[in-house]
Structure 1
Amino acid sequence: MTYIIENATILKDQRITKNSLLIENGRILSIKPAYKRYRYIRMNAAPYIMAPTSTLLFNEFPFNMSFQEQKKFFIDEFILKGCTTFLTLATVKQENNLLKEVKQLKTRLLNSPIDFIIGVRVAIKRLTPAFLRTCKRERIPAIFVEVSGVDELDHLPWGWLREAIFPYNSPLIPIFINQNERERKHAEVQWKRKMQEEKMPFIEQEIVEQEPISYSALTKIGIYPKVSNIHQGCELSYNLYLKSREIRKIEEVELFHYHRHMLVTTIHKGNVIRAQNQIEFRPGFGEHIPISTPSFFST
């Protein structure tokens, strides 16, 4: 089916544009100011603010739940928040368990109603060239590294690690554990210094769970512009918020935190999964999203 979404106020990457979208079979064919000569069915989006759906980090999934509990979990933690994609992690204790942990996580998420990306979480002492080569071969787009002390950063073979991950270049993402706020700030500085010094692909700060992942981090992981985007060629996924006087200077994060009560519609891959208070819960509708090239659009 082909149709036009017209008069859309689109909020993306902290910028507002007013355009119309030509849609075919759940994908955005093109975006222009107007389609005056087209005779397709039209949807007037003027009363709303259109924004990309969010991608959230959920470190560990609570799998030991009944179907009804899992359904409520997905609705409350994702769908009602306008999230149609999440990043979750396979925790790897031993290097040779990486494939097993990732495969097990994929299997457990087969009934997910929304899309997901799988990264790995590993202690920094387990970060070896062989481990990174496996991550590269298996197309793991995000490697979360547990750092309990900054001195640990000085005892790794960074040159070999850099060669092992190239050219897939999954970013290393810190998880600072057992540290107070002051120690954490110091650790962030030292992490950035060491990563820049060793020319490793990395993200500077921790990614906060259950909050929209920043465009910078999404880009380095390779999720954006493939997901969380309203762009020509992309699958049609977006949120509609009612326009309001209280929404003035707006950003996507502000919509997520402070204006969620104005969220009325969520579209996922061309399908309505939320309309007002009505939720369309489809087990298994979500897919594992492969990331072909992390850090491709990063500088």
Structure 2
Amino acid sequence: MTAYIIDKALLRSDNKEKSLLIQDNVIREIKDSLARFPYIRMDVAGFRMEAAHVMLDLSIPIDAGVQVMKDYFIKHFLNSGCSTLITAFSIQYEFQCKSEFKKMEQALLMSPIDYVIGIKIPIEKLSLNLIRFCNRNKLPIIFVCMKDDSHLSQLPWGWIREAMFPYQPILSPVIDSMLSEEEKSLLIKKWQKIMQVEKIPHLSNELPEHQPLEDSHLKKIGLYPKRGKLHVGGEVSYNLYQTNRKVEDQNNFFYDKKRLAIMVHKGELIKVNQHICFKEGFGEKLLIKRPSLFV
């Protein structure tokens, strides 16, 4: 059994120093002090510690070749302390589901970080057959692209709700970037109203790309608490940031990104200062057994 203690960790979640007992790459205890244990200690005083990030990216360049993919992962994820990616394959026609899903799965076999695969579709392609495809293949999130509210008002939401049962994938809006801010706001409000009235599992707003997703999003998708939280029984995936012993602007990810000193993914060092260890194929496809389980 491999065991050690991460000592004097300033956890971002509560801005307090804690000690973490690690055994076989699993967090076994988190306490104010673990002085009674005789294990090797890793003193991280002077650093702030938090769970490695989960990020969304709907534009992975899966057709661009291995080296381009490698550079993309380093730039957008490993340098940002991201250990889990949410992405999606896009279709225009229902018959493309199987082939595009397999294509995305094949491309992500080289991923150095864990990943969740969803599907991205124009809203008019949201059908009962597509919902059933997501249920069979455990695709937990459907990104629904909208340019206006015409199809939003016409879809048979009652049948769609029934088809979602029992897996219940989450619908996430993607609004056309060509719309004005006022048009986007009105469309989102109508989306929220229809989803609430029809009792459809959904996200109320667009998910941001290339920045850490909030716990509320991870709960909806079904990733929390396995991702986004350092907890007893959880995996050893965390970031260490240089700090002056206080939490500086807790919501400024771009400020933190410059101070990311160490990233650990499943117990393995991935980033140390400016050095990146790219472990091709180290990532795993995460199976979401049930979205919204912790909501």
Superposition TM-score, scaled by structure 2 size: 0.95
* 1:179-198 matched pairs, under 5 angstroms: 179-198=179-198
- Structure 1 counterpart of 2:9: 8
The question of whether the paired residues in 2 share the 8 Å contact of 1:136 and 1:165 is answered with yes
C-alpha displacement of 1:66: 4.4
The number of equivalent residue pairs is 293
* 1:146-295 matched pairs, under 5 angstroms: 146-177=145-176, 178-244=178-244, 248-251=247-250, 253-254=251-252, 256-295=253-292
Alignment root-mean-square deviation, CA:
1.5
The question of whether the paired residues in 2 share the 8 Å contact of 1:26 and 1:271 is answered with no
The question of whether the paired residues in 2 share the 8 Å contact of 1:88 and 1:119 is answered with yes
C-alpha displacement of 1:259: 2.4
Structure 1 residues 45 and 296, CA gap change in structure 2 (3 angstroms)? same
The question of whether the paired residues in 1 share the 8 Å contact of 2:118 and 2:143 is answered with yes
Task: Tell whether 2:54 aligns with 1:37.
Answer: no
Which amino acid in 1 is paired with 2:30?
I
Task: Tell whether 2:125 aligns with 1:126.
Answer: yes
C-alpha displacement of 1:88: 0.8
Alpha-carbon distance in 2 for matches of 1:248, 1:228: 18
* 1:49-60 matched pairs, under 5 angstroms: 49-60=48-59
C-alpha displacement of 1:172: 0.5
C-alpha displacement of 1:181: 0.8
Alpha-carbon distance in 1 for matches of 2:79, 2:61: 18
- Structure 2 counterpart of 1:79: 78
Moved over 4 A (4+): none
Which amino acid in 1 is paired with 2:207?
I
Alpha-carbon distance in 1 for matches of 2:186, 2:123: 17
Alpha-carbon distance in 1 for matches of 2:199, 2:80: 36
* SS of equivalent residue, structure 1 residue 85: strand
- Structure 2 counterpart of 1:101: 100
C-alpha displacement of 1:96: 2.6
Alpha-carbon distance in 1 for matches of 2:52, 2:127: 35
* SS of equivalent residue, structure 1 residue 259: helix
The question of whether the paired residues in 1 share the 8 Å contact of 2:12 and 2:247 is answered with no
* SS of equivalent residue, structure 2 residue 8: strand
Task: Tell whether 2:92 aligns with 1:111.
Answer: no
Alpha-carbon distance in 2 for matches of 1:69, 1:105: 15
C-alpha displacement of 1:227: 1.4
- Structure 2 counterpart of 1:136: 135
The question of whether the paired residues in 1 share the 8 Å contact of 2:57 and 2:87 is answered with yes
Superposition TM-score, scaled by structure 1 size: 0.94
Which amino acid in 1 is paired with 2:97?
L
* Consecutive unaligned residues in structure 2, runs of 5 or more: none
Alpha-carbon distance in 2 for matches of 1:249, 1:172: 34
Which amino acid in 2 is paired with 1:260?
K
* Consecutive unaligned residues in structure 1, runs of 5 or more: none
* SS of equivalent residue, structure 1 residue 28: strand
